Amino acid sequence: MKAIRRFTVRTVLPEPLKPLEELVLNLRWSWHHETLDLFRAVDPALWRAVHQDPVRLLGEVAPERLARLAEDRRFLRRLQDTAEDLREYLTAPRWYQSHSDGDAPACIAYFSPEYGITAALPQYSGGLGILAGDHLKTASDLGVPILGVGLLYRHGYFSQSLSPDGWQLERYPPIDPNGLPLTLLRERDGTPVRVSIGLPKGNALHAQVWIARVGRVPQLLLDSDVEDNDQSARDVTDRLYGGGGDHRLLQEMLLGIGGVRAIRAYCRITGHAEPEVFHTNEGHAGFLGLERIRELVSEDSLTFDEALEATRAGTVFTTHTPVPAGIDRFPRDLISRYFGGANEEEQVPVDRVLALGTEDYPGGDRTVFNMAVMGMRLAQRVNGVSELHGEVSREMFGGLWGGFDTAEVPIGSITNGVHAGTWVAREALELASRELPSLMESGRGWEGVRNVSEPEIWRMRGLLRRRLVLDARRRLRESWRQRGASEAEISWIDDALDPDVLTIGFARRVPSYKRLTLMMCDEDRLRSILLDPDRPVQIVIAGKAHPADEGGKRLIQDIVRFTGNEDIRHRIVFLPDYDMALGQLMVQGCDVWMNNPLRPLEACGTSGMKAALNGALNLSIRDGWWDEWYDGQNGWAIPSADGLATPDRRDELEAAALYELVEEHVSVTFYDRDSAGLPRRWLEMVKHTIATLGPKVLASRMLRDYVEGLYAPAAASERSMVADKFAGARELAAWKRRVRTAWPRVAVEHVESNGEESPQVGARLTVRVVVDLGGLDPEDVAVEVAYGRVDDADALVGPSYLELDEGVPADNGRRKYTGEVPLGRSGAFGYSVRVVPSHPRLSGRAEMGLVALPPAPHGMTNGDLR
């Protein structure tokens, strides 16, 4: 008989063992090896059986074993030391406390639909969640006062298995929050906190709030599975990225609107500082801006526009995808149904909501509501997650700032990083602590890696490769048994993979642009690479396709079919159920990390960073982070044929380049050994990779960039808006309204210059402009000249800008402006002028998307400058 409900009965620990619960309920254990050692000592066999899940460990350990541990003085001393170490970690000043000044925000709210903290808390699907988890862990390590917000999915993402013919099967095991390292947020009288959001027809969606402790960082997870809801509402947080239409919209409303309300409740109950900055991690949480506007209108008597300015000032929006299909877009009538009619908030009119998400720019679809577009309109600071992704995002969303060149679109970039404590093998950390104590203590001295003993590095790499091989065999055995194979049919797995063979890893989600099967373009050539008698190669592959992605599932089936061939199945394997635990084994155990997306569709891609920190070399298309940090000595770049061929031909060309690199460079370098059996050139590349990439790929560098480049400026902007009862927000909103009204009448009426007949390098060109300000004041605008090199179509290439000086008034309210353009280079040269809004509280010239240009290219010169 199947149980109709599942729940977890928690163990009552003997009094001397009470600190164990304190350790279990703080997820710092997921990256703290000494705490994991302590859990292992509770019951080593059970620890392995529960897959290193400490909550399950305490739930299943025998009472007799606990009684013995309660009298084991050595274990109790160790327990006390570990608990005291955690308390010190939670309270001692860290980087943020010693490096921040009064301008740093007291709290940053970080919203994400998924978080990859540990495999024991399966609330993630891929890179976005893993990045969010690393963000919180690093904030804890650095002492950055972040407050995480997300949803608690009762079935997580999904567990993956394979059918006998290699088709992906999904299973959604139920998750009991009481069996996770979570506590329920309660009012001071002990009743569970409830947050609610309004629904059509006067209904409401209710949620309780669970708290995870990620080191020093509280993480609030909203859960709609409460008795106050009917069954459909209880199912809103059933699974990550499940369903569509209403279901997905309700998840995002709960995350954004409910998330803000959960923060308010948490801060009220605990006394935690209220957030000054709100960081929206992708568009899924974009509705948080609407809730903050509603608060300001209803509680502080601001108008919608005034509240919008106050909200934008303290909001950071990070876009994570260069793929339009990866952005949530809803039918406008669906948004109208949930935000209009009887459900319409007086403070947040539905027409204003719809306007925020409208794609009202050339090429946009006005029938949809775009969550990323809304997120950008509600944030004063927007960034991509690598330099290349920043460029792609400026192209992709440039229509929001029409009239400005792509380079001026106000979307910056902060390249992602990874949390070393989570992803770097313990053996690598121990080697570093022995050989490079200053690196482990202060994060400095990466160049010292070049002096580390090469035999030691090679020994460590061999150990990690062997661990991967042994675990891969175990996983293969389980998978083949699930697919119905008999013991006789899987005896070959005992010899699958070889701990001494060059091992390439490939693991990620399986959308088509990541090209899981590119390596199979020429199956015969791949086979010859795998079976080379002198320089064999083995490949370990893992990945999940979205349950609704039939194309992705076919790719997995194709790779599974190929890996099942008897002549090569010991050299290439597909491991199902890719999760954090398998990801850790792979980035630690592989010699080479392979990545071959369609450039430039990989926003960043952090798995190669993790592999590099463990001493692997990257073999990748120059996309994402690899495009900016590949230097010719830290791995190999697969040549890309983007824009040069049809899709099939492009795959053929790039696959051929991949084969050639593996055959002629990667395997040759790996197997070129000296008399001591060491691949000296390979190890030189490993050392160079760690020394040069180490300080760049760490999430500590990434988070410092966020603090200094985005969080601190956002906090300063927010404070300037709210001071003196929101005087700044009120003044800026009124100014913007006046400027937008007058802007159609602003015009550049005349441009002239002198000294352009036969100019020479070093000369200066005087430019004079007459502008009709359309009733605006001179201080409302900046009149600029853009100048520099021009191409064959007279377009300025990477122009410089000079603000012209205001001169005397001309007739009929016009103004004259003048300035001198430096002619600092020879060759084709040109200039143009423009008028843009100017206000000290604007984040930049392009913020309002308004620009006035000359009606024709007046006064331009295009000639050789000598």
Asked whether residue 687 falls in the same domain as residue 757, the answer is no
Quick check: 296 and 306 in contact, CB under 8 A? yes
Render pLDDT for 250-291 as a digit per residue (tens, 0 to 9): 999 999 999 999 999 999 999 999 999 999 999 999 999 999
| pLDDT over 50 (residue 846) | yes
Handedness of CA 78, 80, 85, 90 (dihedral sign): positive
> What type of residue sits at position 787?
Y
Calculate mean pLDDT across residues 77-93.
Answer: 97
Judge if the upstream peptide bond of residue 600 is cis by omega within 30 degrees of 0.
yes
Strands 108-111 and 146-151: parallel
Domain end among 677, 697, 717: 697
- For residue 577, tell me if it sits in a domain: yes
Q: Both 466 and 542 in a single domain?
A: yes
Residue 374 exposed, middle or buried by CB count within 10 Å (0-12, 13-18, 19+): buried
User: Can you give the residue range of the structural domain that contains 49?
Assistant: 15-91
Dist CA 198 CA 204 (whole Å): 4
pLDDT confidence of residue 864? 37
| pLDDT at residue 763 in the model | 86
Q: Is position 47 within any domain?
A: yes
764 and 662 part of one domain: no
Per-residue pLDDT tens for 389-414?
A: 999 999 999 999 988 999 999 999 99
What pLDDT was estimated at residue 809?
Answer: 80
Read off the tokens for 21.
């619960």
Are 195 and 257 in contact by the 8 Å Cβ rule? The answer is: no
What is the average pLDDT across 652-681?
A: 97
Compute the average pLDDT of residues 213-235.
96
DSSP 8-state code for residue 312: H
Span 62-68, average pLDDT: 95
User: What's residue 323's pLDDT?
Assistant: 82
Q: Residues 597-632: pLDDT tens digits?
A: 999 999 999 999 999 999 999 999 999 999 999 999
> What does the mean pLDDT of the chain come to?
93
How does DSSP classify residue 345?
B
Given a cut of 80, whether residue 9 has pLDDT beyond it is: no
Distances 99 to 105, 602, 712, 814 between C-alpha atoms, Å? 12, 33, 12, 50
Q: How far is 375 from 356, CA to CA, in rounded Å?
A: 8
* 544 DSSP assignment: -
| Residue 561 and residue 572 in contact, taking contact as beta carbons nearer than 8 Å | no
CA 826 to chain centre: 43
Residue 645 lies in a domain: yes
At residue 866, the pLDDT reads 31
Is 687 a member of any domain? yes
Task: Give CA–CA dist 325/180, Å, rounded.
Answer: 33
Q: CATH code at 549?
A: 3.40.50.2000
Tokens, residue 391: 């460029």
The DSSP bridge pattern shows strands 747-754 and 635-638 to be unpaired
Q: How confident is the model at residue 205 (pLDDT cuts 50, 70, 90)?
A: very high
Q: Does position 681 have pLDDT exceeding 80, yes or no?
A: yes
CA angle 603, 156, 422 (to 5 degrees): 55
Q: Is residue 481 part of a domain?
A: yes
In a domain, 379, yes or no: no
Q: Give yes or no: residues 589 and 683 share one domain.
A: yes
Say yes or no: 798 and 652 in one domain: no
Based on the fold, state whether residues 776 and 690 are members of the same structural domain.
no
Residues 6+ apart with CB under 8 A from 439: 432, 445, 446, 448, 449
**307-321: per-residue pLDDT in tens?**
999 999 999 999 998
Phi, psi (rounded to 5 degrees) for 157: -90, -95
| pLDDT at position 100 | 72
Give 347-359 pLDDT, tens digit per residue: 899 999 999 999 9
Q: Which residues contact 533 (CB under 8 A, 6 or more apart)?
A: none
Say if residue 573 is in the same domain as residue 660.
Answer: yes
Burial of 744 (0-12, 13-18, 19+ CB in 10 A): exposed
Number of Cβ within 10 Å of residue 752's Cβ equals 11
How much is the pLDDT for 54? 95
Query: What is the total count of domains within the chain?
Result: 3
Ranges 9-13, 221-225, 503-507, 761-765: which has the least confidence: 9-13
E strand or H helix at 560: helix 550-563
- pLDDT tier at 666 (50, 70, 90 boundaries)? very high
Q: How far is the C-alpha of 360 from the C-alpha of 367, rounded, in Å? A: 10
CATH of the domain at 802: 2.60.40
Q: Is residue 369 part of a domain?
A: no
Q: Are 477 and 610 members of one domain? A: yes
Query: Torsions phi, psi of 332, nearest 5?
Result: -60, -35
pLDDT at 819: 93
The pLDDT assigned to 861 comes to: 40
Residue 215 φ then ψ, to 5°: 65, -120
Residue 244 has pLDDT above 90, yes or no: no
| % of the chain with per-residue pLDDT over 70 | 97
Number of neighbours of residue 441 by Cβ within 10 angstroms = 10
Residue 380 resides in a domain: no
Residue that is last in its domain, among 61, 91, 121: 91
In 642-690 the beta strands, taken as DSSP E runs, fall at: none
Buried b (16+ CB within 10 A) or exposed e, 473-499: bebbbebbeebeeeeeebeebeebbeb
d(CA 729, CA 309) in angstroms, rounded, equals: 6
**What distance lies between CA 647 and its chain's CA centroid?**
28
When pLDDT is cut at 50, 70 and 90, the band that residue 557 belongs to is: very high
Across 75-102, average pLDDT:
93
Q: What is the mean pLDDT of residues 324-346?
A: 90
Same domain? 690 vs 755 = no
Alpha carbons 402 and 395: distance in angstroms, whole number: 11
Categorize the per-residue pLDDT at 245 as very low, low, confident or very high, splitting at 50, 70 and 90. confident
The residue among 140, 135, 38, 139 whose CA lies nearest residue 90 is: 140
**What tokens were used for 29?**
């254990």
* Residues 569, 494 contacting (CB under 8 angstroms): no
What is the pLDDT at residue 756? 61
For 442-479, the pLDDT digits (tens) are 788 899 999 999 999 999 999 999 999 999 999 999 99
C-alpha span between 159 and 136 (Å, rounded): 25
Residue 733: is it exposed, middle or buried by C-beta count within 10 angstroms (0-12/13-18/19+)?
Answer: buried
Q: Are 757 and 679 members of one domain? A: no
- Comparing CA positions, the residue from 36, 17, 7 lying closest to residue 180 is 7
Question: What is the model's pLDDT at position 423?
Answer: 98
Q: Using an 8 Å Cβ cutoff, are 240 and 156 in contact? A: yes
What is the Cα–Cα distance from 828 to 825, expressed in whole angstroms?
9
User: What secondary structure does DSSP assign to 5-62, as a single string?
Assistant: ----PPP---GGGTHHHHHHTBGGGGG-HHHHHHHHHH-HHHHHHTTT-HHHHHHHS-
Domain boundary among 657, 679, 697: 697
Give kind and range of the element (H or E) at residue 241: none
The reply to whether 691 and 550 lie within a common domain is yes
d(CA 141, CA 301): 40
**Between β-strands 183-184 and 204-214, what pairing exists: parallel, antiparallel or unpaired?**
antiparallel
Q: Are residues 670 and 775 in the same domain?
A: no
pLDDT > 70? residue 750 = yes
